Amino acid sequence: MSIFRVGSLSVFLWLVCALPAVSQDPTSSAPQAAAAEATAAGPGAGTLSSPPPASFNDVMDRVVQKEHLFVAQMRHMRPLVETYLQDLKTDGVGNSVPVKDQYYLGRLDMSDGPEDTSFVGQPGFGHRMLNRLTGIYSMHFLPLGFAQMVVLDTDFQKKYYNFTFVRREFLGEVRCLVIDAEPKEGSGTGRFMGRIWVEDQDYNVVRFNGTYYPHPKTSYYLHFDSWRLNLRPGMWLPAYIYSEESDLKYRIAKSLHFRAQTRLWGYDLKALNKNSEFTQILVDSPQSDAPSVKDQSDAAADATPVVAERMWERQAEDNAVERLQKIGLLAPVGEVDKVLQTVVNNLLVTNNIDLQSDVRCRVLLTSPLESFTIGHTIVISRGLLDVLPDEASLAMVLAHELSHIVLGHKFDTKLAFNDRMFFADEDSFQRLDFKRRPADEEAADTKALELLKNSPYKDKLGSAGLFLRALQERAPDLPNLIRPHLGNSLASGKSIRMSALLASAPQLQPERADQIAALPLGGRIKLDPWTDQVELAKAKPVALTSAREKMPFEITPFFPYLTRLSIPGSEKVALTAPAPK
């Protein structure tokens, strides 16, 4: 549960967890009208093993029981948790624009109380020194404070709350009971206060929106909107948290104005990385109408030095890619890779380039905007894919990375030794480095322009240049979004990658609703938090009603389209509705 604490010199985002003994109060009740509404869901509203609840009181008994089961389940899971936060200010026309940002990535562990391990160098739970805001007083955020918003209440019991049935409502395809929860006086600090959505079959909490209350002295809780997805039949797990404050006063003339997105994924890494080699053995047996197996001994030979060098590089490449996927930072091979591969093939074919080996494309699951190569594998982050406005802009990014491969820029093969893969997950950004020399970056820019001018995208590069203009303009205010963790930066100081495209790009016109230079975060890529698979979002385009709705590189709320899994092994997942484009 996240809290701001005011001290003589600082304001801290802190975590307070009350863990009294678990008990239940069977006397809580609600009006009969509410009970009738709650039980009017019809056949199938209850589980096969339990009769439908007879009253609203029975409904809340089921909800409390399921929430306790949820907390027990979370103790056995260690998902990755990422929070990206933008501090805002109001401009001259009343719009809120980002002026500073912060980024956290770690792994959530609730097996022995809430803990986190950071991938990007911030202290974890219990540490205070983090990014500092300007001013006489400073504010510090603890990444775990946002992650803790996955839990409604660590000791959720009826005796601590007054519950009021509001209505029934669909969230996507899932019909829910909407319930207001208000802590009783004297129930302790850090109790949830707000609205709860409970799916009407098994009575799992699927969404809760509000804050924690009452406030301890000199402390403030944040408001948030927390969503869970049905990732396995009967199992709803946290996936998205949106947090926002617009005018929280914490000091004289000091107020808090920010938006933050928290995402969780990597719940099933063991299954993702299991070795299926010995469970899927295929033996080719000779058939009467097929030629016999040919003896290849006459063609067998040791690898030539050139072939051996290529094989050694591929071994280092495979080691790095497999390690990133095992950690949960890299998505498994999927449909998005094929889309990226199509663009790469367009560039290769139209430029008559034969590399004698495959170029692979993969998706990094984090939000910061970055792309890099690992040998012949091009990696592009989910965040960068989200904000690119069109295919020509995507081709620009891929052309730069492809140029490193075409030009034969050196890839450090030290990772071909497997012992270099033996490190803790949270040390990944320190142990894996795929940055290029400045001279190689300049050469790749030049070659990429050549590739693009001979490609199907040659007449659409104005939009790619417009994206670079928008990136250049926002980079000073959003350093953590632009800062890479594994590769080179897209924009650093006054320099920007592929800067030659700026000359032919139109000028930015923020007041024009029809000029889209970059998209908001989260609008293009859909991530399955259980399997780590990614897909392109298939939401319908939305016409903008004002220039304010363009929101380039900005954070927006989450509104996933919830679905219910009823068949084991089903791959149906919730879709995060993108911001209007």
pLDDT given for residue 296 in this prediction: 53
pLDDT given for residue 217 in this prediction: 63
CA distance 196 to 460: 47
Between residues 112 and 284, which one has the greater pLDDT? 112
Mean pLDDT computed over 550-572: 82
pLDDT given for residue 426 in this prediction: 87
Chain CA centroid to CA 135, Å: 31
CA distance 503 to 497: 13
Say whether 6 sits in a helix, a strand or coil. Answer: strand
Over residues 394-426, the pLDDT tens digits come to 999 999 999 999 999 988 999 999 999 998 888
CA distance 226 to 380: 28
pLDDT given for residue 121 in this prediction: 62
pLDDT tier at 291, thresholds 50, 70, 90: low
Give the gyration radius of the chain's Cα atoms: 26
pLDDT at 567 over 90: no
pLDDT given for residue 276 in this prediction: 42
In the sheet with 371-374, reading across from the earlier edge strand, the strands are 360-364, 377-381, 371-374
pLDDT given for residue 175 in this prediction: 97
pLDDT given for residue 33 in this prediction: 38
Residue by residue, DSSP assigns 481-509 as HH--SSS--SEETTEETTGGGGTTSPPP-
Tell me if 559 is assigned to some domain: yes
Candidate from 207-216, 457-466, 468-477 with smallest mean pLDDT: 207-216
pLDDT at 29 over 70: no
CA distance 328 to 364: 9
Mean pLDDT computed over 342-360: 94
Whether residues 70 and 120 fall in one domain: yes
Mean pLDDT computed over 139-143: 48
Q: pTM of the predicted model, to two decimals?
A: 0.83
Q: Which amino acid is at 418?
A: N
Whether residues 457 and 570 fall in one domain: yes
Tell me if 410 is assigned to some domain: yes
Over residues 310-344, the pLDDT tens digits come to 999 999 999 999 999 999 999 999 999 999 999 99
pLDDT at 145 over 90: no
Tell me if 301 is assigned to some domain: no
Tell me if 374 is assigned to some domain: yes
pLDDT at 292 over 70: no
Q: Which amino acid is at 403?
A: S
Q: Which two tokens stand for residue 532?
A: 């780590």
Which own/partner contact pairs does 32-37 have at CB distance under 8 Å and 24+ positions apart? Answer: 34/164, 34/165, 35/59, 35/165, 37/165, 37/167, 37/168, 37/177
Angle of helix 391-406 relative to helix 461-474, nearest 10 degrees?
90
Whether residues 262 and 186 fall in one domain: yes
Q: Residue 220: which domain range?
A: 2-17+28-267
Residue by residue, DSSP assigns 516-578 as -S-PPTTSSEEE-TTT--EEE--PPP---SSGGGG-TT------EE-----STT-----EEPP
Whether residues 439 and 556 fall in one domain: yes
Domain boundary among 267, 286, 320: 267
pLDDT tier at 364, thresholds 50, 70, 90: very high
Whether residues 119 and 256 fall in one domain: yes
379 CB-near residues (< 8 Å, 6+ apart): 330, 361, 362, 363, 364, 371, 372, 373, 434, 486, 487
Whether residues 245 and 343 fall in one domain: no
CA distance 554 to 23: 43
User: CA of 58: how far to CAs of 62, 68, 153, 193, 194, in Å?
Assistant: 6, 16, 19, 21, 21
Whether residues 152 and 250 fall in one domain: yes
Q: Are 172 and 189 in contact (CB under 8 A)?
A: no
pLDDT tier at 126, thresholds 50, 70, 90: very low
Q: Which residue has the tokens 């005018």?
A: 247
pLDDT tier at 274, thresholds 50, 70, 90: low
Candidate from 31-40, 297-306, 345-354 with smallest mean pLDDT: 31-40
Report which of 263, 246, 205 is spatially closest to residue 558, judged by C-alpha positions: 263
Tell me if 138 is assigned to some domain: yes
Mean pLDDT computed over 368-373: 97
Mean pLDDT over the full length of the chain: 81
Report which of 359, 365, 318 is spatially closest to residue 340, judged by C-alpha positions: 359
Over residues 222-250, the pLDDT tens digits come to 899 999 999 998 899 999 999 998 877 66
Domain boundary among 236, 267, 298: 267
Whether residues 86 and 193 fall in one domain: yes
Q: Which two tokens stand for residue 355?
A: 């590399």
190 CB-near residues (< 8 Å, 6+ apart): 1, 3, 16, 17, 18, 153, 212, 221
Tell me if 154 is assigned to some domain: yes
Between residues 80 and 577, which one has the greater pLDDT? 80
For 159, phi and psi rounded to 5 degrees?
A: -70, -15
Q: Are 444 and 403 in contact (CB under 8 A)?
A: yes
pLDDT tier at 27, thresholds 50, 70, 90: very low
Q: Which residue has the tokens 């494309």?
A: 361
Tell me the three-class secondary structure of 284-301, residue by residue: CCCCCCCCCCCCCCCCCC
Whether residues 147 and 64 fall in one domain: yes
Domain tally for the chain?
A: 2
Whether residues 340 and 235 fall in one domain: no
Q: Are 532 and 332 in contact (CB under 8 A)?
A: yes
Query: What CATH number is attached to the domain comprising 142?
Result: 2.50.20
For 199, phi and psi rounded to 5 degrees?
A: -65, 145
Whether residues 235 and 325 fall in one domain: no
CA distance 71 to 239: 15
Over residues 514-557, the pLDDT tens digits come to 999 999 999 899 999 999 999 998 878 888 989 899 999 999 99
Domain boundary among 246, 267, 288: 267
Tell me if 534 is assigned to some domain: yes
Over residues 432-466, the pLDDT tens digits come to 999 999 999 999 999 999 999 999 999 999 999 99
Q: Which amino acid is at 360?
A: R
Whether residues 247 and 324 fall in one domain: no
Tell me if 297 is assigned to some domain: no
